[in-house]
């Protein structure tokens, strides 16, 4: 795998399972690199002449944002699929009918000319319930490892770019 970046003179060869440390001693250059990487614009990872886009840049290594919309959206998508499978479909339809009946009762009691959709959108339900990943960690290392595990499990992302992690560890 090759890491291509416009400030590097040549591609940087990467091997899976290895940790690489690139040191930038010039503070101005470092700031420029961090700003550019945060936009994902200037970094290219190539494997077997194919562009790799499934990587994650961890901007805040000390406190990675576990409840990112990227992760939660994928989780909600998976839960939506589960709600429609053969094991959960009947329960999902029953809940849908109960919610619709409750809303129809409220509408009937109100003075407003309203109607509701027959469709049940599981995405909205999950968002209304403020679905969140549980964050219960005893240490920074445990939090970081959980974050990496989640990205690997949920988004199949196994390439992570961090800033100053060797100084933190």
Mean pLDDT score across all residues of the chain: 83
**Which tokens go with 110?**
């109100």
pTM of the shown model: 0.73
d(CA 123, CA 77): 7
**Which tokens go with 137?**
């960690």
Q: What is the pLDDT of residue 103?
A: 92
Q: What is the pLDDT of residue 41?
A: 63
User: Could you read off the pLDDT of 59-99 as tens digits, one per residue?
Assistant: 777 788 888 888 899 999 999 999 999 999 999 999 989 99
pLDDT at 146 over 80: yes
Q: What is the pLDDT of residue 57?
A: 80
Report the b/e string of 144-164 with b at 16+ CB within 10 A.
Answer: bebbbebbeebbebebbbbbe
C-beta of residue 150 within 8 angstroms of C-beta of residue 78: no
Average of per-residue pLDDT across 6-16: 71
- 47-56, 72-81, 136-145: range with highest mean pLDDT: 72-81
d(CA 74, CA 150): 11
């Amino acid at each position: 795998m090759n890491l291509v970046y416009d400030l590097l003179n040549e591609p940087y060869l990467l091997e899976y399972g290895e940790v690489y440390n690139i040191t930038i001693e010039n503070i101005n250059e470092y700031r420029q690199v961090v700003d550019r990487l945060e936009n994902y614009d200037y970094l290219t990872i190539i494997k077997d002449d194919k562009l790799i886009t499934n990587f994650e840049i961890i901007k805040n290594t000390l406190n990675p944002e576990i409840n990112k919309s990227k992760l939660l959206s994928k989780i909600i998508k998976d839960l939506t699929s589960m709600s429609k499978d053969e094991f959960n479909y009947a329960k999902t339809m029953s809940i849908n009918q109960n919610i619709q009946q409750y809303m129809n009762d409220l509408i009937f009691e109100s003075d407003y000319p309203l109607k509701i959709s027959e469709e049940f959108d599981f995405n909205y339900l999950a968002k209304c319930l403020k679905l969140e990943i549980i964050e219960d960690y005893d240490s920074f290392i445990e939090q970081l490892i959980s974050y990496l595990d989640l990205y690997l499990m949920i988004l199949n992302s196994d390439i992570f770019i961090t800033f100053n992690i060797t100084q933190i560890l």
